[in-house]
């Protein structure tokens, strides 16, 4: 099947779909995200950072075992040495993941909506499954940068099939750390992998297979979009976001879809694995 959507994704590596969510849907997702702040654990707080990887094994396990749970990850500047909160709980979280699409009715309803199914249909998926979801806060002042990466580093399939749905729940500007893409960079393959460490004799559970590539700042195109916008993200397109230097947050809900048919193989060394007896939930099956 040939579709304009697929052409655009294959050409640029991303697609911007304005007004994907209604104002009511934006509001319900945003309120659900705020409610998660108050439900976050009061002890044993885990920090999430894409810059420093010196985290202890406990943090890595908490991350690795979050595939079928709702887990809370705090900003680096939000938690003190003793695990105490240094900021208001409403701005302390970096993200919540990775099974909101299954475990939380508000996020489940959007993720498995007919709009999402229709897009996956147009992108030629035969049996798309949702492998993970996240609520991202990008809070003012503490919202850290997300370093340049390809989603395929983390959600690798052979051949590549991952596509991200990134839903803006607030207006995204240069000041509050909107997404930035290197247009066409998905055509250059997968640049590195983040994987389960094959070396059992070390405390490091997760490793990168090679050093981070250097991407010139001038290559990035910022996507300043209004709330309600959906950005479709090809698994191999290089993207990043700068720290939030504004007084406003930049909440977003995002989830990833992969193909589970046509001999597409989900890598066994990806950090995220479907738990025993709980396969990734399928959006639809295209009948021949």
Q: Rounded to whole angstroms, what are the CA distances from 68 to 14, 62, 190?
A: 27, 12, 26
Residue 145's domain is classified under what CATH number? 2.60.120.620
pTM above 0.85, yes or no: yes
Q: What is the pLDDT of residue 58?
A: 60
Dihedral of the alpha carbons of 260, 262, 267, 272, in degrees to the nearest 10: -10
Q: What is the pLDDT of residue 253?
A: 98
pLDDT tens, residue by residue, 190-239: 999 998 888 878 778 888 999 999 999 999 999 999 999 999 999 999 99
Higher-pLDDT residue of 80, 170: 170
State the pLDDT at residue 76: 83
Asked if residues 144 and 49 have their Cβ atoms less than 8 Å apart, the reply is yes
In the chain, % of residues over pLDDT 70: 95
Could you read off the pLDDT of 99-110 as tens digits, one per residue?
Answer: 999 999 999 999
Confidence class for position 1, pLDDT limits 50, 70, 90:
low
Query: What pLDDT, on a 0 to 100 scale, did the predictor assign at position 267?
Result: 95
> What pLDDT score does 288 carry?
66
Across the range 20-39, mean pLDDT stands at: 97
| 91: in domain | no
* CA dist list (Å): 208 to 51, 97, 126, 191: 13, 21, 31, 11
Mean pLDDT across 247-252: 96
Binned at pLDDT 50, 70 and 90, residue 56 comes out as low
**pLDDT score for 78:** 86
pLDDT at residue 47, rounded to an integer: 75
Task: Give the mean pLDDT of the chain.
Answer: 92
The two structure tokens encoding residue 113: 């909506």
> Which range has the worst mean pLDDT, 8-22, 200-214, 253-267?
200-214
* Of residues 82 and 286, more confidently modeled: 286
DSSP state, residue 84 = -
- How would you write 121-171 as a 3-class SS string? HHCCCCCEEEEEEEEECCCCCCCCCEEEECHHHCCCEECCCCEEEEEECCC
pLDDT score recorded for residue 52:
53
Domain limits at 147?
Answer: 4-23+96-266
Q: Give the number of domains in the chain.
A: 1
Q: Is residue 29 part of a domain?
A: no
| Residue 118 belongs to some domain of the structure | yes
The mean per-residue pLDDT over the stretch 75-87 comes to 85
Give the model confidence (pLDDT) of 127-162 as tens digits.
999 999 999 999 998 888 999 999 999 999 999 999
- Within-domain flag for 196: yes
């Amino acid at each position: 099947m040939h579709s304009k959507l697929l052409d655009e994704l294959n050409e640029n590596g991303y697609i911007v779909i304005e007004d994907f969510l209604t104002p009511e849907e934006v509001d319900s997702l945003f309120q659900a995200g705020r409610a998660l702040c108050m439900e976050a654990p009061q002890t044993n707080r885990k920090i999430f950072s894409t810059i420093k990887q010196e985290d202890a094994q406990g943090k890595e396990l908490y991350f690795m075992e979050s595939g079928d749970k709702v887990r809370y990850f705090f900003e680096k500047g939000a938690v003190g040495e003793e695990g105490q909160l240094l900021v208001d709980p409403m701005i302390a979280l970096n993200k919540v993941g990775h099974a909101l699409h299954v475990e939380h009715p508000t996020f489940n309803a959007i993720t498995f909506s007919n709009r999402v199914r229709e897009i996956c249909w147009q992108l030629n998926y035969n049996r798309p499954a949702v492998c993970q979801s996240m609520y991202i806060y990008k809070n003012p002042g503490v919202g850290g940068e997300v370093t340049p990466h390809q989603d395929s580093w983390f959600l690798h399939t052979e051949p590549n099939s991952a596509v991200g749905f990134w839903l803006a729940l607030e207006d995204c500007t240069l000041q509050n750390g909107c997404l930035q893409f290197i247009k066409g960079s998905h055509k250059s393959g997968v640049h590195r992998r983040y994987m389960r460490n094959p070396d059992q004799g070390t405390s490091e559970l997760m490793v990168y297979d090679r050093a981070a590539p250097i991407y010139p700042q001038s290559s990035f195109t910022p996507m300043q979009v209004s709330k309600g916008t959906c950005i479709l993200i090809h698994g191999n397109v290089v993207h990043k976001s700068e720290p939030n230097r504004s007084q406003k947050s930049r909440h977003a809900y995002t989830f990833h879809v992969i193909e589970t048919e046509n001999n597409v193989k989900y890598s066994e060394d990806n950090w995220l694995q479907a738990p025993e007896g709980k396969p990734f939930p399928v959006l639809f099956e295209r009948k021949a």
